[in-house]
């Protein structure tokens, strides 16, 4: 019997080593040689635990599932953005940036093991239903999300267009959990919308950074710049923009810069340290001022754009402090359709500021509210930030950012407000649907940005 156990333990140890090599790669052997004693002891302990559980646990365990969860636990302990991606989760990740999919339209994360909304995506069922940044999703179709992996929750909320799903949220200010009935739709890939706020003053709203975002912004700019009145100022709206592709954020920044650093990434190893610079262009867009709008839902790629334009004095940043997601992830393909998503570096603005857990601080702080709506103030103090996430990376190795205190929500519940507001106030609050000048001009941050641009034109002697 003892001989059988020894053979069994040896077999498990071999499996553990193979799995770790499969996950970590060829560098594992060099690390194993460098510290073989501690590594062997750790692997032996791991195999002992698996053997004891397999032989003695009250229910039969699935060895493959047990191993997968062990690897997932190891990776998730690093930071909130690193994870092992089973084949279905890996496929979902690829859909996010390259194709259409059916779903409800939210960006989510795990905060203190709670499934939390970073921001809804414009024009989606979640947006129309009024789901907000900071909402905690406690159930999906009646099933608790307490022990769900992030990818599992995403998979449950995605589905065929026209099919229903019920999510249960907890929100500060609501007395009890609230069920929200949603019908899945195709989540739009369109990430850029634009219009003229006033002759000579353009508005571009970027909802996320996908494959064609730079190209779409360029088209929008060309349309605004070729209008009957020359473009005198631009409002670039990055609020509630959860980010996306790094190369697209660099491309968008490059549209407005002629030279200098856009962003740098610095990792522990040399190949993960890079500097991205602006290039001169045939079309020089330096003649008109820009105001960039950000808030606590502006993360990652949107923070890169805001930071680059702020440091180069190319734009004035208005709003509230951004999310602070300044870490770089890469995804390595593994065997059998698995993927490993893990953090390799931190983002830094041109002046060397770390975005991680710090965010981009606006030049002018303006909290959002809607004009003619009774005292509604969307206080960003209650919004989820990167530094609130468990195991978040520090701004610099060993330099910790203090968690932001969440201010109590003193506003009335939505049910109370709806009785006093016009029927279209909900639509104004969520900025859902096609852009309408009337709705934008009820947004105090947009109005303030426009006033700044007009004032700039006046001081520079041009008529507005």
Contact 235, 293 (CB under 8 A): yes
What's the DSSP call for residue 321? -
Contact 125, 184 (CB under 8 A): yes
Closest by alpha carbon to 253, among 347, 121, 361?
347
Cα–Cα distance list, 456 to 78, 188, 225, 251, 361 (Å): 47, 36, 18, 27, 22
Contact 184, 102 (CB under 8 A): yes
Cα atoms in the Cβ-side hemisphere of radius 13 Å centred on 335? 8
Residue 371: its H or E element: none
CA-CA-CA-CA dihedral for 404, 408, 119, 371, to nearest 10: -120
| Whole-number Å distance between alpha carbons of 375 and 369 | 8
Contact 341, 357 (CB under 8 A): no
State both tokens at 355.
């975005």
**Burial tier of 296 (Cβ tally within 10 Å: 0-12, 13-18, 19+):** buried
State both tokens at 263.
């962003």
Residue 310: its H or E element: helix 301-311
Among all residues, which ones are annotated catalytic?
Answer: 300, 311, 325
End-to-end CA, the chain: 90
| Whole-number Å distance between alpha carbons of 152 and 113 | 14
Q: What per-residue string of b and e applies to 227-261 under the rule 16 or more CB within 10 Å gives b?
A: eeeebbbbbbbbbbbbbbbbebbbbbbbebbeeeb
């Amino acid at each position: 019997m003892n001989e059988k156990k020894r053979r069994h333990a040896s077999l498990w140890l071999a499996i553990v080593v193979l799995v770790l090599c499969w996950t970590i790669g060829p560098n594992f052997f060099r690390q194993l040689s460098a510290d073989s004693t501690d590594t062997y002891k750790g692997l032996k302990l791991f195999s002992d635990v698996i053997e004891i559980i397999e032989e003695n646990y009250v229910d039969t365990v699935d060895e493959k599932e047990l191993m997968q969860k062990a690897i997932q636990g190891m990776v998730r302990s690093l930071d909130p953005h690193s994870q092992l991606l089973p084949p279905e989760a890996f496929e979902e990740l690829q859909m996010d940036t390259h194709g259409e999919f059916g779903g409800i339209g939210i960006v989510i994360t795990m905060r203190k093991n709670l499934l939390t909304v970073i921001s809804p995506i414009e024009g989606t069922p979640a947006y129309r239903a009024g789901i907000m940044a900071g909402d905690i999703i406690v159930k999906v179709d009646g099933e608790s999300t307490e022990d769900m992996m992030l990818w599992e929750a995403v998979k449950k909320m995605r589905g065929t267009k026209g099919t229903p799903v019920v999510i249960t949220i907890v929100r500060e200010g609501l007395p009890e959990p609230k069920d929200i009935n949603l019908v899945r739709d195709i989540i739009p890939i369109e990430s850029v919308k634009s219009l003229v706020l006033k002759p000579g003053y353009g508005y571009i709203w970027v909802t996320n950074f996908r494959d064609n975002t730079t190209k779409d912004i360029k088209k929008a700019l060309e349309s605004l710049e070729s209008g009957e009145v020359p473009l005198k100022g631009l409002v670039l709206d990055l609020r509630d923009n959860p980010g996306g592709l790094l190369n697209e954020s660099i491309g968008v920044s490059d549209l407005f810069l002629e030279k200098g650093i856009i962003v740098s990434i610095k990792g522990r190893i040399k190949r993960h340290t890079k500097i991205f610079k602006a290039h001169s262009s045939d079309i020089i867009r330096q003649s008109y001022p820009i105001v960039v709008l950000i808030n606590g839902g502006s993360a990652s790629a949107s923070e890169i754009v805001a930071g680059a334009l702020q440091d180069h004095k190319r734009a004035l940043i208005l709003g509230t402090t951004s999310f602070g997601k300044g870490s770089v992830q890469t995804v390595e393909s593994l065997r059998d359709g698995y993927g490993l998503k893990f953090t390799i570096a931190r983002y830094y603005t041109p002046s060397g500021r770390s975005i991680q857990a710090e965010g981009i601080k606006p030049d002018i702080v303006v909290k959002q509210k809607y004009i003619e709506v009774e005292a509604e103030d969307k206080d960003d103090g209650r919004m989820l930030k990167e530094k609130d996430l468990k195991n978040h990376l520090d701004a610099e190795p060993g330099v910790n950012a203090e968690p932001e205190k969440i201010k109590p929500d003193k506003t009335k519940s939505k049910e109370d407000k709806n009785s006093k507001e016009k029927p279209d106030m909900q639509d104004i609050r969520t900025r859902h649907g096609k852009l309408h000048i009337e709705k934008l001009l009820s947004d105090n941050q947009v109005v303030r940005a426009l006033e700044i641009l007009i004032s700039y034109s006046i001081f520079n002697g041009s008529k507005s």
